[in-house]
């Protein structure tokens, strides 16, 4: 497998199984102070750019923010936007109402994680802005040429023992961010991805039961094979109730 | 690792390394007649639905088309649309001009592959329509909650020895397809994914050099670490020249 390992740009790295990796990659929002190395970024970005794009046009560009004055200023800008977004979402989604009043509820725990995440966002080890160079009018389907790369990016981080999360927190400061980083008008910022060495345990990925979302032959027709494995963890959709 | 394997819903399946899998998953457009089994579809859809979505809302629904009258009719509809799209693209991108006149050129080979693909599309073993149930106005960033699942789907197929490709070929027959499959108005069809057992060899993934698309600190600033591994294969962007 030496040849295959080289094809992945991964040298002799200890491997994570592909199916296991997909089943155990979840949003990581708490990081240690450990530096993300050049070698790790190289591997992560190589994996990201292996993802497919329409007609192999490869419209993705990736602005990595790690050290230095400009990167720090960019992270501070995004932190401001993240804090405003979260304050709004916390109220709109009722994080402090109902079970949120119990500090041990999933809702209250998620609220604490989010608050710590946005307040410390300027110190996130690495922030990556995946951008899409547009060659036609904006459309909901253009994401097919950038979000597969974002998923590869997060899976590669998982393979290296890192973790991250995809957000849209550039949204509130996009003009300042574009000016600071010289992002041209023709390029859309598709996401703000935070990355680092995970602090604490990961916990399982929780999703809706497969039978609710997988159909065969027609909308709503759940086939007999759409069953979760016995140890799957479930959740209802959306913010904690 | 038995526990981890179970978490992936994969039983005792022989594994593919995560980084290797991402580096070697490419568009597969030629399939054998071999049936894709229930067990394979279960694993593929379980992996797909492990992908992240905004606020874990899980707006993705997946309509699988395999056997039976309705699935066959849907594939025939999409085949008609695919043939029209490809005829238009073939002319617009000049597939028969320049090097395309040489039947051994990459351009002529790609044209033959595409022609065979669209002409035989009604016989593709499995077609999956990933849909997105909208809860707000359409936006280019909504793809962040469906295309990561599409990438997991293709990676899971790779892990099982299958292959596929993401297209937008529903585009020309969307109204008929919605009526036939009872896809509700609030759900957008995000892609048409073809899947099957690969016929023939896969060949390497070809991309732009990393230095052209990965920046650090500012747009256009290629960092020293953005280097491809020695055996990476390159291509310019877009359809073959």
Residue B200: pLDDT band with limits 50, 70, 90: confident
Task: Specify whether B100 is located in the same domain as B140.
Answer: yes
Task: Specify whether B219 is located in the same domain as B154.
Answer: no
Burial (Cβ within 10 Å: 0-12, 13-18, ≥19) of residue A240: buried
Residues B83-101: what's their mean pLDDT? 92
Query: What does the mean pLDDT of chain B come to?
Result: 92
Tens-digit pLDDT profile for residues B152-190: 999 999 999 999 999 999 999 999 999 999 999 999 999
Percent of chain A past pLDDT 70, that is, above it, reads 92
- Contact (CB<8Å) A148/B148: yes
Of B18, B57, B66, the CB nearest to A238: B57
- Contact (CB<8Å) A207/B16: no
Task: Specify whether B69 is located in the same domain as B138.
Answer: yes
Task: Specify whether A118 is located in the same domain as A208.
Answer: no
Residue B87: pLDDT band with limits 50, 70, 90: very high
User: Can you give the CATH number for the domain in which B103 is found?
Assistant: 3.40.109.10
Q: Which residues of B180-216 are buried (b: 16+ CB within 10 A; e: fewer)?
A: bbebeeebbbbbbbbbbbbeeeeeebebbebebbbbb
CA B147 to chain A, closest CA, distance in angstroms equals 6
Residue B169 lies in a domain: yes
Task: Specify whether A33 is located in the same domain as A98.
Answer: yes
Q: Is the pLDDT of residue A82 over 80?
A: yes
Q: Is the pLDDT of residue A3 over 50?
A: no
- Contact (CB<8Å) B61/A205: no
Q: What is the pLDDT of residue B6?
A: 46
Q: Is the pLDDT of residue A54 over 50?
A: yes
Task: Specify whether B112 is located in the same domain as B226.
Answer: no
Percent of chain B past pLDDT 70, that is, above it, reads 92
Q: Which residue of A has its CA nearest to B133?
A: A213
Looking at the 3D structure of chain A, how many domains does it have?
A: 2
Residues of A in contact with B15 (CB under 8 A): 15, 17-20
Task: Specify whether A148 is located in the same domain as A224.
Answer: no
CA A110 to chain B, closest CA, distance in angstroms equals 11
Q: The domain containing residue B220 runs over which residues?
A: 204-233
Of B17, B60, B65, the CB nearest to A213: B60
- The pTM assigned to this predicted structure is 0.94
- Contact (CB<8Å) A10/B1: no
Q: What is the pLDDT of residue A202?
A: 65
């Amino acid at each position: 497998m030496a040849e295959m390992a080289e094809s992945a740009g991964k040298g002799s790295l200890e491997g994570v199984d592909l199916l296991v990796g997909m089943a155990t990659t979840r949003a990581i929002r708490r990081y240690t102070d450990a530096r993300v190395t050049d070698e790790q970024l190289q591997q992560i970005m190589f994996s990201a750019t292996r993802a497919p794009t329409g007609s192999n046009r490869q419209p993705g560009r990736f602005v990595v923010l790690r050290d230095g004055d400009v990167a720090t200023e960019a992270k501070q800008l995004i932190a401001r936007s993240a804090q405003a977004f979260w304050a709004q979402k916390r109220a709109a989604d009722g994080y402090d109402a109902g079970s949120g009043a119990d500090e041990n509820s999933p809702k209250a725990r998620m609220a604490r994680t989010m608050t710590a995440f946005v307040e410390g966002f300027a110190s996130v080890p690495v922030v990556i802005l995946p951008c899409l160079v547009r060659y036609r009018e904006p459309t909901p389907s253009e994401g097919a040429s950038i979000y597969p790369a974002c998923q590869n990016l997060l899976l590669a981080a998982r393979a290296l023992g890192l973790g991250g999360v995809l957000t849209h927190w550039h949204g509130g400061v996009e003009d300042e961010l574009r000016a600071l980083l010289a992002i041209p008008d023709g390029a859309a910022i598709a996401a703000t991805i935070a990355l680092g060495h995970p602090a604490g345990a990961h916990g399982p990925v929780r999703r809706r039961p497969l039978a609710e979302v997988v159909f065969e032959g027609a909308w709503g027709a759940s086939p007999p094979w759409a069953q979760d494995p016995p140890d799957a963890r479930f959740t209802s959709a959306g913010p904690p109730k």
